[in-house]
């Protein structure tokens, strides 16, 4: 893999923790982790691969730092860049908007020409609707720290292995 930048927004600390888990799984690669609340467009442009992580708040809202930063994505040409996405949500409390912030990020990076990798299966989750599901799969790694925290480390390891192998 090339130079990798992980960008996350986190209010409760869960998404930050997952970003660090991903960084650890990418040991041996050149990886830097950034809080999107302290990042700018130039930070994104210096990487060949971007891994973007966002939790979904309430009924499908972006986390506050992502809400403030999302327009920066619109100002960047992402063609030629590979982007993988991961999202955190609560499938029981918000089954009609599970991981919708992930769907929002997907739409922004897709419009900017990125090659998006890292699709994830929907089995093992119970929800009604998600804008992060396209053609029967999540468009990135799906995590639920509220209801399935015991599965996070295993899912991260499996997803990073898929990224390394060029799958998903």
Average pLDDT along the chain, 168 residues, taken 10 residues at a time = 89 95 92 94 90 92 90 86 96 96 95 94 97 97 97 97 79
Name the pairing type of β-strands 49-57 and 61-62.
antiparallel
pTM for the model: 0.94
Strand-pairing partners, residue 31, are 4
Task: Give the burial string for 104-130 (b: 16+ CB within 10 Å, else e).
Answer: bbbebbeebebebbbbbebeebebeeb
How confident is the model over 66-104, as pLDDT tens digits? Answer: 989 998 888 888 998 999 999 999 999 999 999 999 999
């Amino acid at each position: 893999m090339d130079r990798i930048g992980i960008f996350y927004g986190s209010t409760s600390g869960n998404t930050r923790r997952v970003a660090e888990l991903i960084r650890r799984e990418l040991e041996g690669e050149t990886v830097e982790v950034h809080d999107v609340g302290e990042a700018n467009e130039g930070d994104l442009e210096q990487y060949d691969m971007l891994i973007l992580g966002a939790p979904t708040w309430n009924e499908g809202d972006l986390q506050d730092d992502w809400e403030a930063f999302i327009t920066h994505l619109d100002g960047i040409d992402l063609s030629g860049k590979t982007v993988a996405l991961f999202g955190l949500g609560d499938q029981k409390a918000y089954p009609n908007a599970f991981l919708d912030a992930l769907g929002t990020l997907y739409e922004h990076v897709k419009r900017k020409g990125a090659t998006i990798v890292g699709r994830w299966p929907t089995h093992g989750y119970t929800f009604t609707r998600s804008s992060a599901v396209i053609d029967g799969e999540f468009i990135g790694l799906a995590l639920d720290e509220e209801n399935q925290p015991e599965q996070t480390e295993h899912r991260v390891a499996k997803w990073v292995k898929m990224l390394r192998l060029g799958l998903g």
